[in-house]
């Protein structure tokens, strides 16, 4: 079994296709396919099932994935140790996050880290779903609730707060909102109920069970764009409000939500010092940025 073949196997498993893996590895897709076939022949096992959705791991592929990940991390750690760069932040690190934090909190955090570490590349992946770290969709992920299963480490980063908000123009041209009952006279903006991928995103459930949003999206960024264009009332992260000065918080005493951010990593990555250092700096800067932005609202 060759490391070069394992590296190809990991790319196909993570990217779900020969062409995507080929682009990532700068390799012809046909060569990727031959490498996968060679590895399957060496192991006398089928590693992938091909479907319209792409290449999915078989049971044998799932078992190999665990060992291939450990081999990869051992090689990366060895390279860093031998080169004397185990404490240097360089190379590429991919972070997954929900689109709210990915759009209005993490860009400035990542940019600051890059300013301090010119040899580092940070890839920020914003998706309205849970990331699969076992498939190495990301090196680490920011989430709004801790996972309940998997070989993962969980670090609580910080609390953050959310409030109802609307533009000043909307509030001026619509009936006054003095109590939560008044919200029934207003257009609400929120998540598509059956596409809420984490219970912590069920803001309307906490704000009031009788509130039924009329404008809904699985993306918080879409919701916020509606709100800042005066389309209605939305539950907004306090850290996002400074980006949109026309938004005004309302009913702050009646509707005030608190959530938490968590940093999720694969357990095997605890041996990789550069990821440990990045995680420590990343979490610290997130805490500071949430505190700074919330103080502005």
- Equal fold, 91-158+260-295 vs 160-258: yes
| pLDDT at residue 69, as a whole number | 77
Query: Rounded to 5 degrees, what angle do the CA atoms 52, 152, 279 make?
Result: 105
| pLDDT at residue 239, as a whole number | 97
- Is 3-82 CATH 1.10.10.10? yes
pLDDT digit of tens for each residue in the chain (297 aa)?
888 899 999 889 888 889 988 988 889 999 999 999 999 999 999 999 988 878 989 999 988 987 887 787 777 667 666 666 555 677 788 899 999 999 999 999 999 999 998 888 898 988 766 556 555 677 899 999 988 777 789 999 999 999 999 999 999 999 999 998 899 899 999 999 888 878 888 888 777 657 788 999 999 999 999 999 999 999 999 999 999 989 999 999 999 999 999 999 988 778 778 888 999 999 999 999 999 999 998
The superfamily in CATH containing domain 160-258 is Periplasmic binding protein-like II (3.40.190.10)
The answer to whether the beta carbons of residues 223 and 191 sit under 8 Å apart is yes
66, exposed or middle or buried, with CB in 10 Å at 0-12, 13-18, 19+? exposed
| pLDDT at residue 133, as a whole number | 56
The answer to whether the beta carbons of residues 75 and 67 sit under 8 Å apart is no
Residue with tokens 């357990």: 267
| pLDDT at residue 91, as a whole number | 77
Cα distance between residue 202 and residue 193, in whole Å: 8
Domain ranges of the chain: 3-82, 91-158+260-295, 160-258
CATH of domain 91-158+260-295: 3.40.190.10
| pLDDT at residue 129, as a whole number | 61
| pLDDT at residue 83, as a whole number | 62
């Amino acid at each position: 079994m060759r490391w070069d073949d394992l590296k190809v196997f990991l790319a196909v498993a993570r990217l779900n296709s020969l062409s995507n893996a080929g682009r990532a590895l700068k390799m012809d897709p046909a060569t990727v396919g031959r490498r996968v076939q060679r590895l399957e022949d060496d192991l006398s096992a089928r590693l992938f099932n091909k479907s319209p959705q792409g290449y999915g791991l078989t049971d044998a592929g799932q078992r190999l994935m665990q060992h291939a990940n450990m081999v990869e991390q051992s090689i990366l750690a060895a390279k860093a140790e031998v080169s004397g760069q185990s404490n240097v932040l360089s190379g590429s690190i991919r972070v997954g996050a929900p689109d709210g934090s990915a759009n209005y909190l993490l860009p400035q955090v990542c940019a600051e880290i890059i300013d301090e570490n010119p040899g580092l590349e940070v890839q920020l992946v914003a998706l309205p779903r849970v990331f699969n770290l076992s498939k190495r969709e990301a090196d680490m992920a920011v989430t709004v609730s801790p996972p309940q299963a998997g070989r993962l480490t969980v670090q609580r980063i910080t609390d953050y707060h959310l409030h109802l908000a609307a533009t000043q123009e909307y509030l001026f041209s619509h009936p006054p909102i003095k109590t939560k009952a008044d919200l029934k006279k207003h257009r609400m903006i929120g998540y598509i109920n059956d596409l809420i991928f984490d219970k912590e995103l069920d803001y309307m459930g906490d704000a009031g069970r009788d509130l039924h949003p009329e404008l809904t999206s699985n993306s918080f960024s879409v919701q916020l764009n509606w709100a800042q264009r005066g389309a209605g009332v939305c539950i907004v992260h306090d850290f996002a409000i400074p980006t949109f000065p026309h938004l005004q918080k309302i009913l702050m005493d009646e509707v005030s939500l608190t959530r938490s951010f968590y940093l999720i990593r694969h357990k095997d990555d605890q041996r990789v010092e550069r990821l440990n250092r990045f995680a420590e700096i990343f979490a610290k800067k997130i805490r500071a940025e949430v505190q700074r932005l919330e103080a502005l609202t």
